[in-house]
A and B are shown apart, each in its own frame.
Chain A
Amino acid sequence: QKEVEQDPGPLSVPEGAIVSLNCTYSNSAFQYFMWYRQYSRKGPELLMYTYSSGNKEDGRFTAQVDKSSKYISLFIRDSQPSDSATYLCATISNTGNQFYFGTGTSLTVIP
């Protein structure tokens, strides 16, 4: 079993829609969770960073962690064409030396 599993999509939504991106992870000891956004032909860039359970909001983006079900989510409100990208979830080992990335979900927001 991979440390992080992510539905690859692709996902296509109309502009203004609410988008939900999801991942599951295998190790209940993981504490730090991240969402990276990767535009075409670019490197991944950090979008959201959360610690332990709960929600974190940043503008139109909300990251949610449910440790009881080992489930992490990213919600995008009022999606825009500029949100079209691949979104990768990630977590990190407790030693801080090993990152585990999901395979990424490709999102297209249609104007």
Chain B
Amino acid sequence: DAGVIQSPRHEVTEMGQEVTLRCKPISGHNSLFWYRQTMMRGLELLIYFNNNVPIDDSGMPEDRFSAKMPNASFSTLKIQPSEPRDSAVYFCASQQKNIQYFGAGTRLSVL
């Protein structure tokens, strides 16, 4: 298996633009997590899905953030409109039993 696949690896955009991050979890994993990582705050859980259903989105910072999982093999995290403070590395992880497997991340820079 290729592991968790995220795209794009890098995204540079201007404030106010819409940003869409993509994730393909490992086949057969039923849970998917979106995290944001910064130097100051470490890894922060944004939202997680179980069997494609959002379970806990309490970590989503505000209404500008939204996430979807239309099927078991694809999820998106959207930021609209983006702001400079959204600059971070965004990770997607899928889980099997008690182990999470992370993608390589999307490094987002909002200018």
Q: Is the CB of B56 within 8 A of A97?
A: yes
Q: Which one of A17-25, A42-50, A65-73, A75-83 is at the interface?
A: A42-50
Main secondary structure of the interface of B (DSSP, over half): strand
Chain B residue at smallest Cβ distance from A31: B98
Known A43-B91, A49-B99, A97-B56; further 8 A-B contacts with Cβ < 8 A: A34-B99, A36-B102, A41-B105, A44-B102, A45-B102, A46-B99, A97-B50, A102-B42
11 residue pairs A–B, Cβ–Cβ below 8 Å? A32-B98, A42-B105, A43-B103, A45-B102, A46-B100, A96-B98, A97-B31, A99-B45, A99-B100, A103-B43, A104-B43
Q: Give the number of A-B contacts (CB < 8 Å).
A: 47
Contacts of A96 in B (CB 8 A): 97-98
Taken together as a complex, chains A and B put the C-alpha atoms of A97 and B53 apart, in Å, by: 13
